[in-house]
Structure 1
Amino acid sequence: MPMDAAEIESRITEAFPDAKVLMVDMAGDGDHWAARVTSAAFAGKSRIQQHKMVYAAIGTDMGGELHALALQTFVPEPQTGE
């Protein structure tokens, strides 16, 4: 059974409590997802390191219950005082 967006998002936010996650079903089949993840935990890390962090959070289901994940990672913009 494919992993749904809520499960993927839950695993990511469990690992990165500050994360903002946007999930998109790329093929409409619940098996090919795109995720846009923004977290301060990515600060100072390379894009590859950031992606590995997210894949580690998802766990061993990559390639199994979760067939494909197109991943974009971002560090939040610094907040300015108002």
Structure 2
Amino acid sequence: MATTQITEASIREALIERLKASHVEVQDQSGGCGQAFTAVIVSTEFAGKPSLRRHRLVNAALKDEIAQIHAWSARCLTPEEWEREKLSSEPRLGS
């Protein structure tokens, strides 16, 4: 497997393409070296699925990327959950 630099943008693009995500926030937690990321992912693909299934979908979609980084954390929300959260508080990753 060829190793490529994983970036916030490359993860965001992959999630939008592979999970039809309507909103994605990715933050590099490693100080720019691309080894630890956290994300908020909003997708209709998560509807009706418990948290574990949502995370498994994300991990499968980012299998190659996750294999190249040290740490990965994601919050997986449906569009309805995201709208409720935006009304009740500020997004956790900032915009």
TM-score after normalising by structure 2: 0.71
Contact 1:12 1:19 in 2 (8 A): no
Larger RCO: 1 or 2 (CA < 8 Å, sep 6+): 1
After TM superposition, what 4+ stretches of structure 1 lie above 4 angstroms from structure 2? none
Q: Secondary structure at the match of 2:52?
A: helix
TM-score after normalising by structure 1: 0.80
1:39 equivalent to 2:39? Answer: no
Query: Structure 1's 39 and 7: CA in aligned 2 closer, same or farther, altered over 3 A?
Result: same
CA separation in 1, counterparts of 2:66 and 2:34? 14
User: In the TM superposition, what is the alpha-carbon distance from 1:48 to its structure 2 partner?
Assistant: 0.6
1:59 equivalent to 2:63? Answer: yes
Aligned to 1:22: 25
More helix by percentage: 2
Structure 1 stretch 45-54 or stretch 22-31: which is displaced more? 22-31
Q: Which amino acid aligns with 1:33?
A: F
Is there any run of 5+ residues in structure 2 with no aligned partner, and where?
Answer: 84-95
Is there any run of 5+ residues in structure 1 with no aligned partner, and where?
Answer: none
Q: Percent identity?
A: 27
Contact 2:12 2:24 in 1 (8 A): yes
Aligned to 1:71: 74
Query: Structure 1's 18 and 33: CA in aligned 2 closer, same or farther, altered over 3 A?
Result: closer
CA separation in 2, counterparts of 1:27 and 1:18? 24
Q: Secondary structure at the match of 1:37?
A: strand
The number of equivalent residue pairs is 78
